[in-house]
Amino acid sequence: MEHRAQEVISLCRKLAEFTEEPGHITRTFLSPPMRDVHRELGGRMERQGMSVNVDAAGNLRGFYPARRPGAPRVIIGSHLDTVPHAGAFDGILGVVMGIAMVDALAARQMPFGIEVVGFSEEEGVRFGVPFIGCRALVGAVDEALLALRDPQGLSVADAIRSFGLDPARLAEAKLVESTLGYLEFHIEQGPVLENLNYPLGVVEAIVGQSRLRVCFTGKAGHAGTTSMKLRHDALAAAAQWIAVVESVAESTSGLVATVGRMEIEPNAGNVIAGKVYASLDVRHALDEVRHQAAELMLNRAKQIAAGRGLSFEWEQHLDQPAVAMDPTLVNKLEQAVKSAGYPVYHMPSGAGHDAMIMAQKIPSAMLFLRSPGGVSHHPDENVLVEDVQAALNAGMRFLEQWETRLD
């Protein structure tokens, strides 16, 4: 498997050259370089005996047939788009891994078909809404989504037509009823596995997310002539609150919370801040824990504002429920990792993935690969050959479990 693992990495780096920005890896929904990705991967799929098509949402789909017509199928996939100035492995590694697994079968057919899907969009960069590709498979692309517009004024439907596809045929992209399940390989995008020195992680759940925008409103004033006791400093209140957010997260097992963006008015060095807007991102695998933590953080913000003579407001932009992976598939994946000779580590995913959408319709599972340095969404993103080899070994045993069950 080692030579195949090296080929996986080499192909991911080659695909990184198909970009909208020379010198950077940037590839958004149905942008011109996506055609190059389709051509490269589609050709490899065909050489391995797969039938290839691009559905109306722009998803690349390769199907490797079962021993008998009409047999159920297993889907292996991830996304082909990137964030701006990305790395070479986020998303696309999972597609290349699926192709490598079909190649490893060496023309052997299973009692189920294997469909490898490269989703056209997951990151939400071009239209501000993620998962356009996999939404098509679960039947969740509606007129409102098709009407969304990018910064150039083109709608999702326009983008589909410009790529030579027909949005009227989106219903044809839906999953077939006999689909057994979905498997996604993905880099961890964090430092946990590296700190443990483990090559792989079995994902138990994709965490829920709360995203909010808060506003502290005080009173701007001259930095030199307003005494400290008479100030209503919105930035000082926000700073005090940010420390509370960190404290709540640190004292709650499995919780992460981030204030990653601030807007300060009037934002001058010699003026007391009169108003501060701040983002709040709270994540946990249990929705109840996440909701309770977010409520506590907001209540503390109100108390801080009141104590300083400020007003406080907030609005919620996202309340994404946690998504558990299918327990049966998680167990199969655990056994596959164990039988391949690697330590088993169960973990949540702190980021969203296509698997959370696919899980709405079919049993889904995810296998993480170690991210050296914990780096992701960055040009330094990387994977180790031995970890790719480990994932391929575990993946093949995962398929063999299904083979034993269906024979």
Contact, 6 vs 385, CB < 8 A? yes
| pLDDT at residue 404, rounded to an integer | 80
| pLDDT at residue 1, rounded to an integer | 60
Domain 208-320 fold is: Alpha-Beta Plaits (3.30.70)
| pLDDT at residue 318, rounded to an integer | 84
The residue assigned the tokens 């307003």 is 226
Contact, 154 vs 336, CB < 8 A? no
Show Cβ contacts of residue 398 under 8 Å, excluding neighbours closer than 6 positions. 183, 332, 333, 336
Q: 311-320 and 60-64: which strand pairing?
A: unpaired
3-state secondary structure of 359: coil
What is the DSSP secondary-structure string of 326-342?
A: PHHHHHHHHHHHHHTT-
113: its two tokens: 């078909």
User: What is the DSSP secondary structure assignment for residue 128, as one 8-state letter?
Assistant: S
262: its two tokens: 């601030």
| pLDDT at residue 407, rounded to an integer | 63
Among candidate residues 267, 337, 322, the one with its CA nearest the CA of residue 291: 322
- Helices (H) and strands (E) in the chain — how many of each? 12, 16
Q: Which residues pair with 184 in a beta bridge?
A: 366
CATH 1.10.10.10, domain 2-206+322-406, yes or no: no
| pLDDT at residue 303, rounded to an integer | 98
What is the DSSP secondary-structure string of 156-179?
A: HHHHHHHTT--GGGGGGGSPPTTE
The domain ranges of the chain are: 2-206+322-406, 208-320
Report the chain (407 residues): mean pLDDT per 10 consecutive residues.
Answer: 90 98 96 98 97 98 96 97 97 98 96 98 92 97 96 97 98 95 97 97 95 97 96 98 98 95 97 97 95 98 98 93 96 97 96 95 98 94 98 97 78
Dist. CA 221–CA 229, nearest whole Å: 13
Sequence letter at residue 188: E
Among candidate residues 386, 297, 326, the one with its CA nearest the CA of residue 181: 326
Angle CA(61)–CA(93)–CA(407) in degrees, nearest 5? 60
Return the beta strands (E) in 289-345 as ranges.
311-320, 323-324
